[in-house]
A and B are shown apart, each in its own frame.
Chain A
Amino acid sequence: MTPNTPGKTPGRLYRLWDSDLFYAFRTAPVAIVATLVALTIIACAVLAPWLAPMNPYNPGGLNLMNGFTPPMEPNAFTGETFLMGADNQGRDMLSTIMYGTRTSLFVGAMAVLFAMTLGISIGLYAGWRGGWVDGALMRVADVQLAFPAILIALLIFGIARGFIPDNMRDQLAIWVLIVAIGLSDWVQFARVVRGATMVEKNKEYVQAARVIGAHPAKIMFRHILPNVMGPVLVIATISLALAIIAEATLSFLGVGVPPTQPSLGTLIRIGQGFLISGEWWILLFPSLTLLALALSVNLLGDWLRDALNPRLR
């Protein structure tokens, strides 16, 4: 769809390697470290079914008596030892975090993808049409900005509960979460794309394309969209970190994924209850993972923003 997808031909790949952006990347240690950390976490999450010592989502494989085993210490009843300890249900923390990160990343990535698709479509349409359509859509965006993402996600969660039959809730919980976070996050994309569209649509090449009778959708996607992919990429990166945190916050408020299939947010919510009682590992390890993931993605987004802004180079 987008003409500048890298990797279509070896020439493109080489051009990417040789590009200014990549040069900037190769010379920025922060960006390299952030990418490495993010990639490691993502790899661990994606490969969890093959790497994790146990499958925490299989309730039949758990032994409750392993609950609260401290890291690197054998359990008093079962004698089992866990690298990062076991949680309140006897799940190996390391495995649970790997699977949890998988869930968090999936929710975050899908939510951002959803928000991006929606935001780009609305932004292009509003910018292209202008007039009252633009006014109405941007007012909706304004209103939505007034409500924090959490509030909107709570609302959407509430409606979804009304529509989804209760025996499907468990399976659909993740999708509801994705839609809820995604819907609360499209505004940023829409605004950037709309602004660029309004600038571009009056430029001569677009006018020329219109004159020769090109379809507006083609003009929008082929000519206007590539011009805004930079900022969109920056927003997407930062949104990913925000989406992962939003998921954690929703789980903290008790409306996230079911505790039998925990995400990082659910794990932190559970772990927070053991802060005072001294089982620090149940809170600390998921928090650190979330921090490392969100921080590395944020750093990457931050760097990308500066790198894509030619005047800052």
Chain B
Amino acid sequence: MTKLARALSLSASVAALALAAGAAQAETVRWARVADALTLDPHSQNEGPTLALLRHVYGTLVSRAVDGSLTPDLATSWEIHPEDPTIWVLHLREGVTFHDGSAFTAEDVVFSYERVLHESSGFRAIHADVVGAEAVDEYTVHVQMSGPSPLYPNNLTNFFIVDKTWAEANDVVAPQNYAAGEENFAVRNTNGTGPYQLVSRDPEVRTVLSVFDGYYGDAPQVTEVIYQPIAEAATRIAALLSGEVDFVQDVPVQDIARLEQTDGIAITTGPENRNIFFAYNATSPTLRSTNVADNPFSHPEIREAMALALDRDAIRQVVMRGQSQPSAAPLPPFVNGWTEEMNAYGAPDYERAAELVRSVYPDGFSVQLDCPNDRYLNDEAICQATVGMLGRIGINVSLNSQTRSLHFPLIENLETDFYLLGWGVPTFDSAYVFNFLVHTREGSYGAYNGGQYSNPEVDAMIEEIATMTDLDERNATIARIWDRVMEDRVFLNVHNQLLAYAVREGINIDVHPENSPTLWTVTID
């Protein structure tokens, strides 16, 4: 909070300075990250790096501040319709223009709703409860929901608004359709209301943005952004050390200390809204990869033993070099529903854990752990360390670590017994976690419930909270769900990630909880 206040006051004073000077200085920031945006189509890919880049070009109705709170953006205010709890009323900002000069009106918001609800959109699940949107007047929109949805505005922070006339003129009324087999104009061309407009784009090489003079907010100090994906960690850090880039977003934890000591380079760290955890299949009668006849994870003793063997502090100290917040709660502290009690964890007790394992399997047992090796901070090393810890209590774990495009299908196709996953919560609410990770897999529920946890009572409560309007009652139900989930040890949580941004000294940037830095709020000394 104080950090935010400081950043705000700083940016205000700097803005004043810039005004006093008369003309803004040309400032270029060369921004390097591990991966490129997959597309510039604002409604095609719900994926971190894509959203982070698009945010600079396209405006959203609501934004998320660095502390996680919602702030007005293209919508100046929003409320539930006084007579109908299933309608959200959005009041839009006046005097906003798109990069091509056309005015931003309610028609554009209605059109964007149609586009984001199209079947080729990657964001349909986020707006699943939306029935339709209607322009009441030029600057008011009514969003009709299928039932009361008190927390829906949380889902608007990644909803980019496009210009209706531009989209129609360029035949991009629908988001990218893979099946059509042809390129979509919106993949490499943009027309948003954001602070920057696209100058050039060479996918995976560089994307150049320059400041949009007609931006409705404060004029950004950074007038040009050059975005360069650099996949190899050593090359990325070398580029910063040799002055070829100004801002590296994905800094390996082991390089933080060195970068901090380097003259001319500054490091900012902050928590990401993402927790890293293990999950296992405790439901099936047998497992694919174990040497015992039944399912070891179905025994509460084994699940308890694993929790006792996980030395979170050692992982923080050695693997993460302090860049993590160890926690037993399978959700990050940013999320509604998180409590201090859930977070608490004890010191490892290997003797007790080994005893528990022996009580079920006198000779121990073996199982395979599936792990990504290019998705989260030191994911493979975390798995490796855990393999060692479980080895000490008689659980012989073989490690299968591989690239993310091979790891995630194992979870989606229920082809794993025991796996590592990290989960970010863009809505900052537990319901998002429940819907994807806890609810029995059926329909749009449980897509990442790879452990196949299934509890009818819990499912009923999860479905209940979707339409609850009384927030206190809703929070009580969320707490009850978490109690059951914690009691059943559905997840073995490791920690919450801390992010590190490295910049050329003089650039002031805050770590964003969704790892989505905003260069237009960056100040330069």
Report A's interface with B, CB cutoff 8 A: 58-62, 64-65, 67-68, 88-90, 161, 165-167, 169-171, 254, 258-260, 272-279
Nearest Cβ distance between residue B409 and chain A, in whole angstroms? 11
Contact A260 B234 (CB under 8 A): no
Contact A277 B257 (CB under 8 A): yes
Closest 5 interchain pairs by CB? A60-B391, A59-B391, A167-B289, A67-B318, A277-B254
Given the contacts A161-B406, A276-B234, A64 and B318 also touching, CB distance less than 8 Å = yes
* Bound CA span A122–B28, Å: 60
Contact B252 A273 (CB under 8 A): yes
Given the contacts A64-B315, A65-B317, A161-B406, A258 and B399 also touching, CB distance less than 8 Å = yes
* Bound CA span A129–B194, Å: 71
Contact B368 A89 (CB under 8 A): no
Could you say which of A90, A166, A258 contacts B410, with CB atoms under 8 Å apart? A166
* Bound CA span A229–B104, Å: 80
Contact B318 A65 (CB under 8 A): yes
Closest B residue to A64 using CB positions: B314
Query: Is B524 positioned at the interface, with any CB of A under 8 Å from its CB?
Result: no
Contact A58 B391 (CB under 8 A): yes
Q: Which residues of B from 402 to 444 have beta carbons under 8 Å from A?
A: 402-403, 406, 410, 415-416
- Taking CB atoms, residues of chain B closer than 8 Å to A65 are 314, 317-318
Nearest Cβ distance between residue B68 and chain A, in whole angstroms? 31
Contact B400 A254 (CB under 8 A): no
For B236-247 the 0/1 string (1 means CB < 8 A from A) is: 011001000000
Could you say which of A59, A274, A279 contacts B388, with CB atoms under 8 Å apart? A59
Contact B254 A166 (CB under 8 A): no
Surface stretch bound by A, among B56-64, B379-387, B450-458: B379-387
Interface residues on B, range: 35 or more
- Taking CB atoms, residues of chain A closer than 8 Å to B402 are 254
Given the contacts A65-B314, A88-B318, A166-B400, A260 and B255 also touching, CB distance less than 8 Å = no
Q: Given A67-B318, A161-B406, 14 other A-B contacts at CB below 8 A?
A: A60-B391, A60-B394, A61-B391, A64-B318, A67-B319, A166-B289, A170-B368, A259-B380, A260-B387, A273-B233, A273-B254, A276-B234, A277-B252, A277-B257
For B308-341 the 0/1 string (1 means CB < 8 A from A) is: 0001001101110000000000000000000000
Contact B387 A272 (CB under 8 A): no
Given the contacts A166-B288, A260-B384, A260-B399, A272 and B389 also touching, CB distance less than 8 Å = no
Closest A residue to B368 using CB positions: A167
- Taking CB atoms, residues of chain A closer than 8 Å to B397 are 59
* Bound CA span A259–B381, Å: 9
Closest B residue to A274 using CB positions: B254
> How many contacting A-B pairs (Cβ < 8 A)?
94
- Taking CB atoms, residues of chain A closer than 8 Å to B415 are 166
- Taking CB atoms, residues of chain B closer than 8 Å to A166 are 288-289, 368, 370, 400, 410, 415-416
Could you say which of A64, A165, A274 contacts B311, with CB atoms under 8 Å apart? A64
Query: Is B401 positioned at the interface, with any CB of A under 8 Å from its CB?
Result: yes
- Taking CB atoms, residues of chain A closer than 8 Å to B398 are 170-171, 258, 260
Could you say which of A64, A88, A258 contacts B389, with CB atoms under 8 Å apart? A64
Query: Is B258 positioned at the interface, with any CB of A under 8 Å from its CB?
Result: yes
Query: Is B374 positioned at the interface, with any CB of A under 8 Å from its CB?
Result: yes
- Taking CB atoms, residues of chain A closer than 8 Å to B380 are 259
B254, B311, B373: most-surrounded residue (chain A CB, <10 A): B254
* Bound CA span A279–B318, Å: 13
Q: Provide a sorted-by-A list of 24 A–B residue pairs whose CB atoms are within 8 angstroms.
A: A59-B388, A64-B385, A64-B388, A64-B389, A65-B314, A68-B318, A165-B288, A166-B288, A166-B289, A166-B410, A166-B416, A169-B400, A170-B368, A170-B399, A171-B398, A254-B402, A259-B399, A260-B387, A260-B398, A260-B399, A276-B238, A276-B241, A277-B255, A278-B258
* Bound CA span A88–B410, Å: 27
* Bound CA span A49–B289, Å: 27
Could you say which of B288, B388, B400, B410 contacts A60, with CB atoms under 8 Å apart? B388
* Bound CA span A167–B398, Å: 9
- Taking CB atoms, residues of chain B closer than 8 Å to A88 are 318-319, 381
Contact B388 A62 (CB under 8 A): yes
- Taking CB atoms, residues of chain A closer than 8 Å to B399 are 170, 258-260
* Bound CA span A272–B235, Å: 11
- Taking CB atoms, residues of chain A closer than 8 Å to B317 are 65
Query: Is B392 positioned at the interface, with any CB of A under 8 Å from its CB?
Result: yes
Nearest Cβ distance between residue B317 and chain A, in whole angstroms? 7
Could you say which of A169, A254, A260, A279 contacts B254, with CB atoms under 8 Å apart? A279
- Taking CB atoms, residues of chain B closer than 8 Å to A275 are 234
* Bound CA span A275–B288, Å: 39
Nearest Cβ distance between residue A157 and chain B, in whole angstroms? 11
Given the contacts A64-B319, A161-B406, A260-B399, A277 and B311 also touching, CB distance less than 8 Å = no
Could you say which of A59, A161, A165, A278 contacts B387, with CB atoms under 8 Å apart? A59
Closest A residue to B397 using CB positions: A59
* Bound CA span A65–B319, Å: 9
Q: Which residues of B from 199 to 254 have beta carbons under 8 Å from A?
A: 233-234, 237-238, 241, 252, 254
Contact B410 A89 (CB under 8 A): no
Nearest Cβ distance between residue A297 and chain B, in whole angstroms? 28
Nearest Cβ distance between residue A162 and chain B, in whole angstroms? 11
- Taking CB atoms, residues of chain B closer than 8 Å to A165 are 288
* Bound CA span A167–B394, Å: 19
Nearest Cβ distance between residue A289 and chain B, in whole angstroms? 21
- Taking CB atoms, residues of chain B closer than 8 Å to A90 are 318, 388
- Taking CB atoms, residues of chain B closer than 8 Å to A67 are 318-319
- Taking CB atoms, residues of chain A closer than 8 Å to B238 are 276
- Taking CB atoms, residues of chain A closer than 8 Å to B387 are 59, 260
Contact A89 B234 (CB under 8 A): no
Contact A277 B318 (CB under 8 A): no
- Taking CB atoms, residues of chain B closer than 8 Å to A254 are 373-374, 402-403
- Taking CB atoms, residues of chain A closer than 8 Å to B368 are 166-167, 170
* Bound CA span A166–B394, Å: 22
Nearest Cβ distance between residue B102 and chain A, in whole angstroms? 47
Closest B residue to A279 using CB positions: B254
